[in-house]
Amino acid sequence: MENMISISLDRAAYAAGDTIIATISVRQAKPLPARSLSATLVCNERKRIKTQVVLDRYDYDRDKEMGQPYSSHMETKTEERARAAFEQEKQICGQHTFSGEETFTVQFTLPQSAAPTSHEFGHDNAIYIWKVRAKLDISFAPDEHAEAEVFVEGL
């Protein structure tokens, strides 16, 4: 048996406002003292933001010299911004010695305004990815992590 942490969810898909029940399994080959076990529900958002900028005379002339024909002195720039749109952490247990296989259950409630899961930029120029993450905080060793994607239905 190897050291391992895993997450399983009670359903394949959720709607905004639903309760997520996550089961976290910790399997250890030998007793392992840890400071804590925590779980986090997080929604990562990536947005494309388009802005129009006015080329100053120098840039316009320089681009013209380099053979880049412009029909306008305006240029559209696109940038991507990423942020955590939602994050809720719950402490599952404090200082504990894990041995064998132990199972813990944690519940999260999706906000009523939860954006549906999307992996591609759509009409709103945004991507939303929901995940449940678990972290086993081990003293004087690298922490163990696991994550499971939560599919939020919508649109």
- Please write the tens of the pLDDT for every residue from 53-111: 787 777 777 777 887 766 666 778 888 999 999 999 999 999 999 888 999 999 999 99
Tell if the pTM clears 0.85, that is, is over it: no
Rounded CA separation 130/14 (Å): 11
- CATH number of the domain within which 118 lies: 2.60.40.640
Domain count, the chain: 1
Rounded CA separation 129/134 (Å): 16
pLDDT in tens, 99-152: 889 999 999 999 999 999 998 888 888 999 999 999 999 988 899 999 999 999
* Residue range of the domain that includes 15: 4-48+83-150
CA-to-CA dists, residue 131 to 3, 10, 47, 101, 145, angstroms: 22, 14, 18, 23, 13
* 54 found inside a domain: no
Rounded CA separation 20/10 (Å): 7
Written as six digits, the tokens of 113 are 């305004």
